[in-house]
Structure 1
Amino acid sequence: MPSFSALATNLVPNIHLLDTGQGFMHYNNESSDGSLIPVERDNVSEEFAEKLGMTKEETYAYVYGVLNLPAYQTKYANDLKKDLARIPILKDKEQFAKIGQALLDLHINYEQVEPYQEVLINGLSYGEFIHGQHDYTIKEMKHEKVRNEAGKSVSDLSTIIYNAGIKITHIPLRAYDYVVNGKPAIEWILDQYQIKTDKDSEIVDDPNQFSEDKRYIFDLLLKVINVSLKTLDLIEELPKLELDSNL
């Protein structure tokens, strides 16, 4: 599995959002003449946009589409580990730009995506469950443990124990195929959204305090499941890795 990942955000990220990653801003508001007055500038190469025959917005989306193409990640895996990503000019450029824009919108606005509702929560549908009174406080989400054919205890990826009173089942295993920085996006939620205490400072990191919405983490988990599935659907629609012989 390729280790390269591309992830869009509308916030200024820590450089380790993706391990040893690099960030490329669509716009740059730094001053070009040393003055204190920032001027928003588009960082997309005019020369490359002209070669593609696209606007800068379309070019930015085209690049994101190419970076998310599994065949590209596999073919150039060694180069992507040690060098900047180099973007080829491919056939079906418009389709790459169209799907790339859909991926940008999906990843940047992941919190606005509808929660995935084809799961069962305590045996109830999403709509039935959320109309009841529940404690959504989390300590550490985890997969339920089951015995495999060899009798070994393994994680059941289709089930997440949200807290002592909430169990989410029927999670589609396909959702785990969307991997960011070497780990399924769903697993990042389980890893990051838990109560942790720093050993040195003894400061407690409690994600339950991140939002006044008591269902924020619960819905976020279901949204990321939906984002994962939608991302995989869009990636499957990307054209083949074929160079444009006319350029």
Structure 2
Amino acid sequence: MIRSHVGKPPVSQKIHFQIGDTPKHTISFYRSICYTIILGKLPDTTDYIYGILHSEDYKKRFADNLSKELPRIPCVTKASHFWAFSQAGRDLAELHINYESVEPYAVNFASCELFMNQFEDKDYRVEQMKFGKKGKETDKSTVIYNHKITMTHIPLEAYEYIVNGKPALEWVMERQAVTTHKESGIVNDANDWAIETMNEASYPLKLFQRVITVSLETMKIVKKLPKLDIATSQS
């Protein structure tokens, strides 16, 4: 149990731990949480949760639970790990919230790069992006945007960032397209959104490039996360 008189200066805070059978290696974690509350840094706890949710260890260990119920957030056994997950969560949130302002990844454009500065809005129209081919095999390093634009040298590591069971880049390919609802016949045209809302016909193309950047940076952070060291009773 943690009791704290929030609102008083840190020096006058009274924190009481009812430890009981709590393993000693978890005390540093709870003390860390208490200090976060005392110093008014509750966002650190939110960042910690976001960091944990991106942990590959967490996803593997709790895969069965995650498929059936809301996520359980375990307590790591070291304060240093809490702060590592918290910092990672903060960096990831910053990256994901501001995805539209990151620098588009510098892909190569097959055959058309020299002429793109002369393109008109109609040249950026997308119907459905699709992967290239190497013989009979799908080549994810190449994406055909439309009949004029083909992106090449897309790093395959970018497809490692998975959102709801699918690479973030493949969500972009699916959503930035022209589709027709089978029952209603309503046409959903990503090009309309690009021009009317974003005022940029090339928005779908640049979004794909930006999500490459976001995916690569996300995986850099995720791969540096500490191993998920938690009390046995939580696993």
TM-score (norm 2): 0.75
SS at match of 1:88: coil
**CA distance 1:83–1:214, change in 2 (3 Å):** same
Residue 192 (1) aligns with residue 180 (2)? no
- 1:116-155 to 2 correspondence within 5 Å? 116-117=105-106, 119-123=107-111, 130-134=116-120, 135-147=123-135, 153-155=136-138
Which of the pair has more CA radius of gyration? 2
TM-score (norm 1): 0.71
Unaligned runs of 5+ in 2: 1-29
- 2:200 pairs with 208, 213, 221, which one? 213
Task: Give the Cα separation in 2 of the matches to 1:123 and 1:230.
Answer: 28
Alpha-carbon offset, residue 49 of structure 1: 9.6
2:159/2:169 contact within 8 Å kept: yes
Cα displacement string for residues 151-193 of structure 1 (whole angstroms, at most 9, x for unaligned residues): xx22110000000000100000111111111111111111111
Task: Give the Cα separation in 1 of the matches to 2:166 and 2:229.
Answer: 28
Residue 76 (1) aligns with residue 76 (2)? no
- 1:201 pairs with 158, 166, 184, which one? 184
* 2:25 match: none
Cα displacement string for residues 57-96 of structure 1 (whole angstroms, at most 9, x for unaligned residues): 1100000001100001101111222222121221221111
Give the number of equivalent residue pairs.
Answer: 190
1:140/1:193 contact within 8 Å kept: yes
Compute the RMSD of aligned alpha carbons: 2.1
SS at match of 1:140: coil
Cα displacement string for residues 82-112 of structure 1 (whole angstroms, at most 9, x for unaligned residues): 2221212212211111110000111111111
1:52/1:89 contact within 8 Å kept: no
1:61/1:97 contact within 8 Å kept: yes
Cα displacement string for residues 178-237 of structure 1 (whole angstroms, at most 9, x for unaligned residues): 111111111111111111112222211110011221111110000011111000001012
Question: Which has the larger displacement, 209-218 or 82-91?
Answer: 82-91
Give the structure with the larger helix fraction.
2
Task: Give the ranges of 4+ consecutive aligned residues of structure 1 lying more than 4 Å apart after TM superposition.
Answer: none
SS at match of 1:159: strand
Cα displacement string for residues 137-157 of structure 1 (whole angstroms, at most 9, x for unaligned residues): 00111011221xxxxx22110
SS at match of 2:134: strand
**CA distance 1:76–1:52, change in 2 (3 Å):** farther
Unaligned runs of 5+ in 1: 1-47, 148-152
SS at match of 2:185: coil
